[in-house]
Structure 1
Amino acid sequence: MAKLSFFCFIIFSLFISFSTAFNPEKPTDRRILVILDDASLKSSHSIFFNSLKSRGYDLDFKLSDDRKIALQRYGNYLYDGLVLFSPSVDSIGEGSLKLNDVLEFVDSGHDLIVAANANASDFIRNVASECGVDFEDDTSAMVIDHTSYSVSEIEGDHTLIASDHFIKSDVILGEEKIQAPLLFRGIAHSVNAASSLVLKVLSASPAAYSANPSSKLSSPPALTGTSISLVSVVQARNNARVLISGSLDMFSDRFLRSSVQKAGTSHTYEKSGNEQFLAEISKWIFHERGHLKAVNVRHHKVGETNEPSIYRINDDLEYFVEIYEWSGTSWEPYVADDVQLQFYMMSPYVLKTLSKDKRGLYHTSFKVPDIYGVFQFKIEYQRLGYTSLSLAKQIPVRPYKHNEYERFIPVAFPYYGASFSTMGAFFIFSVLYLYHK
C-alpha cells in the first residue's frame, strides 16, 4: 500500500510538472515563483502582484528562508518565471536555491525579475553580474540627481529620482507613451560593454551620479551620467528574458500611487508612471508581447508545388515562410519590412528581402546560382525587443547532367557559320580545281 501511494505521488508530481512547463504554442509565462525578504512585501507591493494576477498569472509566494524552495522536481521545472524580491538575503532557502540553480533556470529558457536596493547581497549582485549587469561596488552608494529629482524631496538628499529617460521601443514599453516620470530610489548599475544582449530600459540623466548621500565626496564617483542604468533588461540567445532593477521601492504601492513633480517643471502628475511602466515591461518579460514564431517553411520550383530533394543550377525557385507574433492570448500575423533570406554556402550567394502580405506570409523567388554544392535556406532575424528567429534548411544543388546541356546556343552561331562556310568554300574550291583549267 505504501509503495502504491509513493508511485501515485510520483505520477501526480510529474503531471503537475508537465502541466506547468513552458508551452511553445502559448509562450506566455503562467506559473511564477515570488521569493520575498519579508511577508509584508506581499501587501506593500500588492498593486504590482495584483496586476499580474489579473492577467492570469498564478503567483506562488515563498519567504527567502523557506527550505522547501525548489525550481524543479524530477528534472522538470515547476515554474515559468521567477521574481526575486529578496535583495538583502545572502542565501535563499538556507542554501536550497543556489546561484547555479537560478542561472540554469534562465539557461533553460525561463524568465527572471531581480530587484535590488542599498542592501543588495552578494547573491543578488552575482546573479546580475552573470546576466551582464554590474551593480555599484560601494555598498553605501545610491543614485543621486540634483536636476531630475522629485520636488517632494527638495529638502532631502535628492535620492528620489524622477526619471523619464525611457528606451524608445513600442514592443518593450507598449505603444501608449508613458507620460509621467518614474519614481526610483535605489542603487546604480552599469551595462557590461562586452554584452550585446543587455538593454538600458530606464537611464539616469546626465547630471546623475552614484555616491553615499550622507557623506561628502572625497573622489570622483565611479558611475556618472547616462552610463548609469536604473532598469535594464536582457534577452538571452535562447529568448529567455531578465529584468534587473536597482530599486525594490520602484515596485511598491507607495511609489505607484504617489504624485510626482519633476524638478525644473511646474506640472504635477497625479500618479507616477511606475504602474504603467511595470505593467508594460512585465508583459514583455513574461512573453505577452514580442514573441515570434515561424511555421510552414517551404520551397519549390516556380510553377510546381512539391518540395524537391535537390535543385539544379539556374533553376527558378520560390521560398515561403509564415511568421506570427504572440499577443498574450493568440497568434497574430507579424508584419515587417526587414525579414531577409540568405541562400548560403560558406557565405551568402543570394540575399533577398522577403515580400509580405497582411496575413503573416513572407515569400520571395530567385534563380539558383551557377555554383553547385550544399546550400542552406537561412533566416537569422533579430530585431530590438523581439525574440530572435533562426531558421536553416539544407538543400543540395547539382550541375547539369550530360544530356541537359543545350545542343545549339545562340552565342555560338558565328562559330557554327564559320565552320559551315569553310566546308562550303572547300567544296567549291575542290570542284573548280578538279574540273576547270
Structure 2
Amino acid sequence: MKNLCFFFIFGVSLFPLLCFSFNPESPLDRRVLVLLDDFSLKSSHSIFFNSLKSRGFNVEFKLADDPSLSLQRYGQYLYDALILFSPSTERFGGSLDLAAVIDFVDSGHDLIVAADASASDLIKNVATECGVDFDEDSSAMVIDHKSYAISGTEGDHTLIASDDFIQSDVVLGKTKIDAPVLFKGIAHSVNAANGLVLKVLSASSSAYSANLASKLLRPPLLSGSAISLVSVVQARNNARIMITGSLDLFSNRLFRTAVQKAGSPFKFEKSGNEQFVTEISKWVFHERGHLKAVDLRHHKVGETDEPAMYRIKDNLKFYVEIYEWSGKSWEPFVADDVQVQFYMMSPYVLKTLSTDGKGLYHASFMVPDIYGVFQFKVDYHRLGYTSLSLSKQIPVRPFRHNEYERFITTAFPYYGASFTTMAGFFFFSIVYLYNK
C-alpha cells in the first residue's frame, strides 16, 4: 500500500512537467511527426529532415497508413507539429482522420502539407479546411512556357523556375534568395477575401494549370496570378500551416539542381529550394516571428503600486513587455506600431506605445471623463508575426461629493445671478418697509 501511494504521489508530481512538455507555446524540444507514403522519402528528402534535426527538432517518421497512428494520448498531444508527405494516401491509419488533423491545428499546432499529381481527396480536403483549394482536375499540372527551367531537353515546361516571393523578412528571413525556386506539381488557389492565407511563392502571369495527357479545348480554370505554388496560413489561434502542390520542392534532387530561368542570362549552380524551404519552415515552426507579451501593468503618475480602480481624469502610466523568439532565446521586440486601447464598448483612448528598445513599451494618458468598467487592451496584428491579444480590466469611478471644486469657473454666471437676486431682494425689502 505504501508503494502504491508513493507511485501515485510521484505520478501526480510529474503531471505538471508532462503538461509543460506538450505545451505548444514552448519553442524548445519540439516533436514533429512526419507521415510518408513510402520510407524511401526519408533518403530522397534527407537534407530537409536533417535541417530540422540540426535545429533541435525531434523528428519521428511513420507510414500514413500505420494502424498505430495517434496524435494524442490521455487528452495530451504527443507532437507539436505534423508534416504530411503522403499525397496519395486515401485514408490515414489508426485514430487519425481529417477531423483529427483539423483538431490538431485548432489546438494551436503547426502543419505542413505537400501534394503532387497523385494527391488524394483526403489531402485535398485537408487543404480545403485550411483555406486553400487545389485544382479540381486531379491530373492537371502547373505549366509555364515562359518561366520554365532550362534543361538538357526541352521537356513539357512543368519544371517551373519561380522567383516571385512574398516581400516579408519575417516569413522568408532577411537573407535574400537569389536563385529561383524549382517547382513541379499541381496548382492551388487562395480566397482573396481570406486574410489568414498568404501566397509565399506565386506563379507568373504566363502559367496555367492543365492536363498534359489531353488537349486544351477551353480556358484553364486556374491561370496566371491566380495560381499559388506555396501558401501559408496563420490561424487566429497562431497555429501556422504551409501548403504546396509539390512534394519534389523538398527533395534532395531539386535542392542540388543547377537552375537557369528561361529568358534569363544568369545560371545558378544551385536552386533556391533549400534556402527557401529552410527559411519558410523556420517561420511555420515558430522559430521566427513568434511574439509573447508579459508583465502588463499600470499605475497612477507619481505612484508605483497598481490601484484597484481609477478616478475620472486621473493621469496614469501603462507598461507591457514584448519579446520575440530568435530560435534560441527570447529577444526584445522593437516596433513603432504597438498600441494600447482604454476600452469600454469602444476605445475611449487609443495610444501608440513608445519603446526603450529593450522590449519595454509604455504610454501615459489621462483617464476619460466617463466612469464604468474599462479594459486596457493590446491587440497587435502584423504580417508574419503571431497575434497578440491581451487585456486587463479596471473600474473607473466619478468624483466623490467632497472631491469636486468648490467654485467652478464655468458656473460664474450662475453665481452672479444668485447674488444679484439676493441683493435685489434686500433693496426691495428696505424700500418697501421704509417708503410711505
TM-score of the aligned structures, taking structure 2 as reference length = 0.93
CA contact (8 A) 1:210 1:223 kept: yes
Q: CA deviation at 1:408?
A: 0.9
5+ residue gaps, structure 1, are none
Where in structure 2 are the equivalents of 1:121-136 lying within 5 Å? 121-136=120-135
Query: Measured at CA, do residues 77 and 17 of structure 1 come closer, stay the same or move farther in structure 2, by a change above 3 Å?
Result: farther
1:37 is aligned to 37
Q: CA deviation at 1:196?
A: 1.9
Does residue 27 (structure 1) correspond to residue 52 (structure 2)? The answer is no
Quick one: which amino acid aligns to residue 366 of structure 2? K
1:360 is aligned to 359
- SS of 1:152's equivalent? coil
Does residue 274 (structure 1) correspond to residue 276 (structure 2)? The answer is no
Pairs aligned (count)? 431
Q: CA deviation at 1:22?
A: 2.4
CA contact (8 A) 1:342 1:349 kept: yes
Where in structure 2 are the equivalents of 1:25-424 lying within 5 Å? 26-28=26-28, 30-93=30-93, 95-152=94-151, 155-417=154-416, 419-420=418-419, 423=422
Q: CA deviation at 1:177?
A: 0.8
Q: Quick one: distance in 2 between partners of 1:383 and 1:320?
A: 20
Q: Quick one: distance in 2 between partners of 1:158 and 1:16?
A: 53
Q: CA deviation at 1:356?
A: 1.2
CA contact (8 A) 2:24 2:80 kept: no
Quick one: which amino acid aligns to residue 222 of structure 2? L
Q: CA deviation at 1:422?
A: 5.9
Identify the range of structure 1 (399-408 vs 175-184) with the bigger mean alpha-carbon deviation.
399-408
Q: Quick one: distance in 1 between partners of 2:303 and 2:397?
A: 19
* Structure 1 segments of 4+ aligned residues over 4 angstroms from their partners: 10-17, 417-437
- SS of 2:225's equivalent? helix
- SS of 1:159's equivalent? coil
CA contact (8 A) 1:81 1:112 kept: yes
Q: CA deviation at 1:212?
A: 0.9
CA contact (8 A) 2:287 2:326 kept: yes
Deviation by residue 1:368-425 (Cα, 9 ceiling, x = unmatched): 1111111111111100000001111111111111111111122333443454466557
Deviation by residue 1:159-215 (Cα, 9 ceiling, x = unmatched): 000000111110000011110000000000001344221111111001100001232
Q: Quick one: distance in 1 between partners of 2:377 and 2:403?
A: 29
Q: Quick one: distance in 2 between partners of 1:165 and 1:391?
A: 36
Q: CA deviation at 1:319?
A: 1.0
- SS of 2:151's equivalent? helix
Q: Quick one: distance in 2 between partners of 1:216 and 1:229?
A: 23
Q: Quick one: distance in 2 between partners of 1:320 and 1:105?
A: 34
Q: CA deviation at 1:241?
A: 0.5
Quick one: which amino acid aligns to residue 309 of structure 2? I
Q: Quick one: distance in 2 between partners of 1:392 and 1:405?
A: 31
Q: Quick one: distance in 2 between partners of 1:153 and 1:114?
A: 31
Q: Quick one: distance in 1 between partners of 2:419 and 2:20?
A: 81
Quick one: which amino acid aligns to residue 89 of structure 2? V
Q: Quick one: distance in 1 between partners of 2:317 and 2:69?
A: 53
Quick one: which amino acid aligns to residue 229 of structure 2? L
CA contact (8 A) 2:29 2:56 kept: no
Q: Quick one: distance in 1 between partners of 2:405 and 2:127?
A: 65
Q: Quick one: distance in 2 between partners of 1:156 and 1:237?
A: 43
Query: Measured at CA, do residues 112 and 16 of structure 1 come closer, stay the same or move farther in structure 2, by a change above 3 Å?
Result: farther
Deviation by residue 1:223-259 (Cα, 9 ceiling, x = unmatched): 0101100001111111111110100000000000001
Q: Quick one: distance in 2 between partners of 1:29 and 1:287?
A: 12
Query: Measured at CA, do residues 235 and 183 of structure 1 come closer, stay the same or move farther in structure 2, by a change above 3 Å?
Result: same
Query: Measured at CA, do residues 17 and 406 of structure 1 come closer, stay the same or move farther in structure 2, by a change above 3 Å?
Result: closer
CA contact (8 A) 1:172 1:280 kept: yes
5+ residue gaps, structure 2, are none
Q: Quick one: distance in 2 between partners of 1:15 and 1:370?
A: 46
Q: CA deviation at 1:80?
A: 0.7
Q: Quick one: distance in 2 between partners of 1:314 and 1:15?
A: 45
% identity of equivalent residues: 71
